[in-house]
Amino acid sequence: MNMMAHPIHVRSHLDFHLDDVPRYWFGGNVYATRFMDSICMLFPVGERSFISSIRPYRDQITDPKLAEAVADFCLQEGQHGIQHSLYNDILIKQGTPAQDIIKDFSVWLEHRQINQKQDIRLAITAALEHMTALMAEALFRSPETMASAHPNMRALLAWHAIEEMEHRAVAFDVLTKVVKISYRKRILAMSIIFPQFWRNALVHTDKMLAGDGFNRLQRLNMARKTLPLFFGRHGIMTRVLPEFRQYFRPDFHPNDIPMLKQYPRWLEVYETTGSPLKAAEMMYED
């Protein structure tokens, strides 16, 4: 079952008033906040890498619709990078080690990409796009998940989630229709990136908390208490495991997974008000 693709809208000049976001914006939960910060912190570097992994294939795309989708994908990811960089500046101002973590990660990524084949780079982008689209689903499928998050941060993540949903098939389509990658390589890329992604998130969360002044025992206790919220039996991330596994089907396509159910409501409010803050709030009204 391949659902209809949604048009990709490039939205720019957005203002999420991120200066108003409190230090521990995820309902005051220190570990959950820094865990999410650690994931979001690498978006600007990661998204630049997504763009540079797809660009070399632009000249080989003959389908004008896919060519347009690739251009819009790059513009959307560029905008995500801009907004998350603004939040990264706030994390740096808070005195966290965000800048060092981002720098180390950029150096590591550059080094890794030197010897990486172009098709594997795009396969890693497609794998991460599947993961980010599912994270969007995980955070916004049930309104209670983000209910305690600060509205401005929630709006930033909601907008990012909506656009990840819109362009979730682009890298995958270039990978399978233009590069015509083998099933084995597509799965290999996911097997490489999946553990690396979560390992980075956990290691960086710990570094951020150390920067906040928590000692090793306090950090371990916080991890023990909060990680089940994400990875427990009914955890935020665990609940999208069935959709995650679909990637391993040889005939998988990202549009097989239903669109986030609040998408039409977000779109309607955004299009009538021009406010991503109002659009995100409407996702919480019945």
Residues that bind Fe ion (CB under 5 A): 77, 80, 129, 164
C-beta nearest to Fe ion: residue: 80
Residues 6 or more apart in contact with residue 43 via CB below 8 angstroms: 80, 81, 84, 160
Q: Phi-psi bin for 73: left (phi > 0), alpha (psi -120 to 50), beta?
A: alpha
In whole angstroms, how close is the CB of 150 to Fe ion at the nearest point?
20
Angle between helices 30-41 and 216-231 (to 10 degrees): 80
Phi, psi of 3 (to 5 degrees): -70, 160
| Minimum gap (Å) between residue 11 Cβ and Fe ion | 12
Token code pair at residue 75 = 């513009």
Residue among 84 and 207 whose Cβ is closer to Fe ion: 84
Q: Which lies closer to Fe ion via its Cβ, residue 52 or residue 221?
A: 52
- Of 138 and 229, the one with the shorter C-beta distance to Fe ion is 138
> Distance (Å, rounded) from C-alpha 193 to C-alpha 191?
6
Residues 53, 57, 58, 59, CA torsion sign: positive
Q: Are 31 and 222 in contact (CB under 8 A)?
A: yes
Min dist CB 258 to Fe ion, Å, is: 18
Q: Which is nearer to Fe ion, 164 or 212 (CB)?
A: 164
CB of 62: closest distance to Fe ion in angstroms? 23
Nearer to Fe ion, 77 or 173 (CB): 77
What would you report as the CA-atom Rg of the chain, rounded to the nearest whole angstrom? 18
| The two structure tokens encoding residue 193 | 């990136």
Q: What are 89's two structure tokens?
A: 């500046």
Q: How far is the CB of 173 from Fe ion (least distance, A)?
A: 13
What SS3 class is residue 26?
A: strand
- Looking at the Cβ atoms of 23 and 253, the one nearer to Fe ion is 253
CB of 286 to Fe ion, least distance (A): 28
Smallest distance, Fe ion to C-beta of residue 89, A:
18
Cβ nearer to Fe ion, comparing 77 with 212: 77
Helices marked H in 14-115 — which ranges?
30-41, 43-54, 64-93, 98-114
Q: Which of 242, 198, 244 is nearest to 223 (CA)?
A: 198
